[in-house]
Structure 1
Amino acid sequence: MKKHLYYRSLLALGIAATISACHQHNDVNPDDDALEHKFIRVMVSDEKTTDLSYVNPRTGGVTFEKALFPKSALYTTASGRFGVLVHREDNYVQAFDSGFEQHSDHVDVKGTPKWAAIAGQGKLPTHFKSKGNEVIIFNDGDGTLDIAQESDFHSTDAKMKAINAGNVAHHGAMTKFDNGTYAITEKDGSVAGTLPERVKIVDASGKQIAASTVQTKGIHGNASDGKVALFGSASGVLVVEQTGTQRLIPHPAEFGAAWFGTILEGGNTFVGYTAAMGAYMIDVANNKITPIVVNKDIMQCKVDYAGNVLVVLLHSGEVQLYNIKTNQLIKSGTILPATDKAETQKPQIEATSKYLYVTQPKSGELVQIEVANFANSQKIKVSTTPYRLAIVGIESSEEH
Structure 2
Amino acid sequence: MNQLKKLLIIGSVWPEPNSSAAGSRMLQLISLFKEEGFGITLASPATDSDFMFDLEEIDVVKKTIVLNCSSFDAFVKELDPSIVLFDRFMMEEQFGWRVSENCPDALRLLDTEDLHCLRLARQKAFKEKRQFKIADLLMEEVAKREIASLLRCDLSLMISEYEMELLTDTFKIDSCLLFYLPFLLEPLTNADLDLLPSFEERKNFVFIGNFLHEPNWNAVQYLKETMWSKIKKQLPEAVLNVYGAYPSQKVLQLNNVKEGFLIRGRAANANEVVEQARVVLAPLRFGAGIKGKLLEAMYCGTPSVTTTIGAESMHGNLDWNGFISDDVEAFAKHAVQLYQVEALWLKAQENGIEIINHRYLKRLFDADFKEKIKYLQANLEQHRLNNFMGSLLQHHTLKSTKYMSMWIEGKNKV
Please tell me the TM-score bracket, short chain as reference: under 0.3
**Greater strand proportion:** 1
TM-score (norm 1): 0.24
**Greater helix proportion:** 2
The structure with the largest alpha-carbon Rg is 2
